[in-house]
Amino acid sequence: MSSCGVLVVAGTHGNEVNAPWLLQQWQANPDLIDTAGLAVQKVIGNPEALRRRCRYVDRDLNRCFLPEQLEKGAPGLEFQRAGELLRLHGPSGEQPCAVAIDLHSTTAAMGNSLVVYGRRPADLALAALVQGALGLPIYLHEADAQQTGFLVESWPCGLVIEVGPVPQGLLNARVVEQTRLGLETCLRALDQADQGLARLPDALVVHRHLGSRDLPKAENGEPQALVHPELQGRDWQDISSTQAMFRAADGTDRGEAWVEGEIPVFVNEAAYAEKSIAFSLTRREVWPVQPTWLPALQQLVSAA
């Protein structure tokens, strides 16, 4: 990777503390993470939120990468920080980066996964390389007008590594180690793409986002039923069409019928309660790897 670097972001959400801890340890000990010889810029996404141990101060930073808002200087700490990160490390920033790897954690029982936004060929190539190496599931987020402005979308190529489950604000050695493994695998994949040594698998398995469901709520916003106990912890799993979504305090089932083939993710994710999301629904799809994907990634990582 001759001129453009790789941006590694931890603490985009200030209450996800494991990746920032790893990054700080790495800063003190440069040999801690094998960067495969790549030029890596490492930053804490939202230092003020991390200091306060809250997800954000004014607004979710990972919904602030909205070009129109940034152009007109939208107010608030996170919009300012998004603009600053782009000025420093954006594709035409002071220390330009072509690829952004954004490290997150989840409270949901999802284990580790990759999140891809949309269908950019370079993103799909990187995701396919990492899935090929680690076998991680991929949550493909697209076509959701309620949720936009994700950090990695502002770089030509970007990937989110989501590690869990771990409560917000809690350090956990396993989560740190898995974050490190995911990051090193990403960096190795980028280096192999740069050197022309990368080999994509034949197919990419994605869980394509279909939509989200909120708890049934009263007019005052209080939940009238909770995520069904038999749904709790069943992220990525096939769900029978007889499964109820929610259960009220008196034991009655609530919510619409489950559609066969819809697979839940982010079930009862703590961070999404404020977004009125009890869980999201996905469909598992197997996509043949396209011949355009790898060249798109190679072009980015080896751009002169």
**Cα 192 → chain centroid:** 23
Q: Of the candidates 15, 13, 18, 33, which has an alpha carbon nearest to the alpha carbon of residue 175?
A: 18
Strands 279-288, 203-213: parallel, antiparallel or unpaired by DSSP?
antiparallel
275 token code pair: 């977004």
* CA–CA separation, 253 and 247 (whole Å): 5
Stretch that binds Zn ion, among 16-24, 71-79, 119-127, 278-286 (CB under 5 A): 16-24
> Interacting stretch for Zn ion, rule CB under 5 A, among 15-23, 30-38, 88-96, 189-197?
15-23
Binding mask 97-136 for Zn ion (x = CB under 5 A): -------x--------------------------------
CB closer to Zn ion out of 13 and 81: 13
Q: How far is the CB of 288 from Zn ion (least distance, A)?
A: 31
Closer CB to Zn ion, residue 16 or residue 78?
A: 16
Q: Going by C-beta distance under 8 Å and a sequence separation of 6 or more, which residues neighbour residue 72?
A: none
- With respect to Zn ion, which residue has the nearer C-beta, 59 or 228? 59
Q: Which is nearer to Zn ion, 108 or 263 (CB)?
A: 108
What's the min distance (Å) between Cβ of 57 and Zn ion? Answer: 15
Q: How far is the CB of 69 from Zn ion (least distance, A)?
A: 20
Considering CB under 5 A, how many residues would be counted as binding Zn ion? 3
Nearer to Zn ion, 13 or 89 (CB): 13
The window from 1-9, 11-19, 111-119, 217-225 that contacts Zn ion (CB under 5 A) reads 11-19
Matching residue, tokens 């209080």 = 222
In what order do the strands lie in the sheet containing 226-227? Answer: 226-227, 246-247, 253-254
State yes or no: residue 55 binds Zn ion (CB under 5 A): no
Q: Please say whether the beta carbons of 11 and 42 come within 8 A.
A: no
Stretch that binds Zn ion, among 14-22, 126-134, 182-190, 219-227 (CB under 5 A): 14-22
For Zn ion, the closer CB: 107 or 282: 107
DSSP string, 83-108: HHHHHHHSTTSSS-EEEEEEEEE-SS
Which positions from 185 to 224 touch Zn ion by CB under 5 A, shown as an x/- string? ----------------------------------------
Rule CB under 5 A: choose which of 13, 180, 207, 209 binds Zn ion: 13
Between residues 104 and 234, which has the closer beta carbon with respect to Zn ion? 104
Residues that bind Zn ion (CB under 5 A): 13, 16, 104
